[in-house]
Structure 1
């Protein structure tokens, strides 16, 4: 099949709407464009996932843990110029371990890595993790990829000497894992800022017309702004479902190429990061999840301006819980394309929800929350 024939087999446009054909099978317009949220509008609408969170109000930081019921296929895409990560190399498609036991998003920059120590120890004590065999006296190795954001200069008490709180916060978050969780100034987003206003923790989900679910969770600590300069309208407004972040529409979404609102005044090396995880219930390979992770990163570009700067540590993980088999009458490449595109929109919505739901930290009046803007 030549290139023209391949393109013709994938995409055709008609007056009835967009139709994607694969081997003679048509995916109707309402399948691609008729998405709705899951019952919670959270990443836990993806079957087989729970989320736990913890925070320390005095330190003004926190941890979020994404926990699959059983090890899940995972991938990662790193775009920021100053990432703080753990075990991302293990997720390369050519490496040995194909599944993870949990994903951790944490405040604390390099100190936040200890949150994964707590999670790994908790799993290891319960005999969950990767093992080459069940040798008595040899614990398994839990696979817990982690990304951290910088919230060290947000005014909280960081005088922890040799005892940062993150290991305990990781365990506390894991033990709180549930299908229900709060958004805004919680978990990894507790101490986060975003383009000069309060950042936070956001989540969203999408259910396609043919029953697949995609979810996203994100801690928004971005250099860039999620709202258009001089307005309260979110850059993600074109993909909003219902009034999930205010329903303010798109009428004022315009700016000149170098108008970033409050964002430029916030530029500091390694001080700004958006860390996220997207997930689907469709059973996919590591290679397919890698492509979905790459596509899903576009959700950050749809919701934050600017993004992926030298100052940012932007990282996105992707999970497949495998609860549903992919449709047998659809090319895998077409399904991957669909889920990647949906994941990008879902992440954009989650980013807007993080800021929309956030409340200002005590004593931080010069840096208001979105809801405090005039």
Structure 2
């Protein structure tokens, strides 16, 4: 993978797991057309969240406020399934607790794993949702965390399995960047947006200016145009149930307040890659993690500004990679980016 003009380049995998100390696990249910993605730090990690969408579905996000007790988390969950998908974190909590991981207060009492989560709406994609009193999400969460490792699938996978990016097949995307002075930033995203990931009248990704090499087709930015009040391949007016959920991460040690600023700045990556975004009926959420594998340089504010800018660019790239790698569900003819001409 080539370097950018600033001397930075993607990590070896061009995935969020290029950030030292992180693994990712995924599980899907093809019959239901849904899935779960778990971001698993090797050690408890500082975490923050920024919520911009008008219709979010989340768990444990209040605990992440810098003024609150818990300063680190044990995992982050991204899930399909709307409100039912929040149960995926139950499976992750049970798996972690059985292995002695979590926040401990009193000796002899089981630890309490801290697992924030966010969900997207993939309920109207034609999958079998007649699960009665046994939704699949707790089991999917447990299966996903058990599979956590350095490599994972993009596109129609994990939390992005049932997703749509505007009127195109959405999916799971990831990317990374290693700065010239050695720190790493990564992003992972499940793209189920109301807005379009491509400019009107063609197949050029909104994120094209941020592409490195040919990681999502190498088409360049020549086809970019954004007419006012014209959004191309966005969903129709009646499609008001959407969400893009993401996590960015760095190996630089951050405080909870600094991680919050990282999440805030990273949200700009969604704005660069999806149009429109953060609508009243979107549930857009971005988590930020610090694995603290290296100290923050003395110029902390400047470093944080650089981390935030890199996180936004990397998240924009991850969004485009999600749609670029997406494939139809088995037996379906759902339109994909690769079908565009």
For normalisation by structure 2, the TM-score amounts to 0.97
Equivalent of 1:71 in 29, 44, 64: 44
2:132 counterpart residue number: 161
Deviation at 1:33, TM superposition (A): 2.1
Following TM superposition, by how much is the alpha carbon of 1:264 offset from its aligned partner in structure 2, in angstroms?
4.5
2:178 alignment partner in structure 1: 207
Q: Alignment partner for residue 34 of structure 2, among 61, 73, 77?
A: 61
Aligned to 1:260: 231
Q: CA deviation at 1:373?
A: 1.8
CA–CA distance in 2 between the matches of 1:71 and 1:80? 27
The match for 1:114 is 87
Q: Distance in 2 between matches of 1:237 and 1:192?
A: 21
1:266 to partner: Cα distance: 5.4
Q: Is the 8 A contact 2:4 2:212 kept in 1?
A: no
Asked if 1:191 corresponds to 2:159, the answer is no
User: Which residue number corresponds to residue 282 of structure 2?
Assistant: 312
| Contact 2:196 2:235 survives alignment (8 Å) | no
SS in 1 for 2:292: strand
Whole-angstrom distance in 2 between the partners of 1:326 and 1:41: 23
1:50 equivalent in alignment to 2:23: yes
User: Where in structure 2 are the equivalents of 1:1-374 lying within 5 Å?
Assistant: 33-134=6-107, 136=108, 138-265=109-236, 267-269=238-240, 271-328=241-298, 331-365=299-333, 367-374=334-341
How far the C-alpha of 1:32 sits from its partner, in A, is 8.4
For the 8 Å contact 1:267–1:311, the answer to whether it is kept is no
Contact kept in structure 2, 1:31 and 1:210, CA below 8 Å: no
Q: In 1, Cα distance between the equivalents of 2:4 and 2:85?
A: 41
Alpha-carbon offset, residue 327 of structure 1:
2.2
Q: CA deviation at 1:234?
A: 0.4
Q: Secondary structure at the match of 2:275?
A: coil
Answer yes or no: is the 8 Å Cα contact 1:107–1:149 preserved in 2: yes
CA deviation string 1:235-265 (max 9, x = no partner): 0010100000000001110021111013151
State the alpha-carbon separation in 2 of the partners of residues 34 and 309 from structure 1. Answer: 35
After TM superposition, which residue ranges in structure 1, 4 or more long, deviate above 6 angstroms? none
User: What value does the CA root-mean-square deviation take over the aligned residues?
Assistant: 1.3
- 2: distance between equivalents of 1:170 and 1:264? 29
Task: State the 1:300 CA deviation.
Answer: 0.1
Give the 3 Å change call, closer, same or farther, for CA 264–57 of structure 1 in structure 2. Answer: closer
Structure 1 CA distance, aligned partners of 2:57 and 2:167?
22
CA distance in 2, matches of 1:290, 1:105: 18
Conservation of the 8 A alpha-carbon contact between 1:199 and 1:355: yes
> CA separation in 2, counterparts of 1:113 and 1:363?
28
The CA distance in 1 between the partners of 2:123 and 2:24, in whole Å, is 24
Asked if 2 retains the 8 angstrom alpha-carbon contact of 1:196 and 1:266, the reply is no
Q: Secondary structure at the match of 2:153?
A: coil
Give the distance between the partners of 1:236 and 1:126, measured in 2 at CA.
40
Query: TM-score, normalised to structure 1's length?
Result: 0.89
Q: In the alignment, is the contact (CA less than 8 A) between 1:43 and 1:217 conserved in 2?
A: yes
Q: How many equivalent pairs are there?
A: 339
Alpha-carbon deviation of 1:31?
Answer: 9.8
The whole-number CA distance in structure 2 between the counterparts of 1:32 and 1:227 is 24
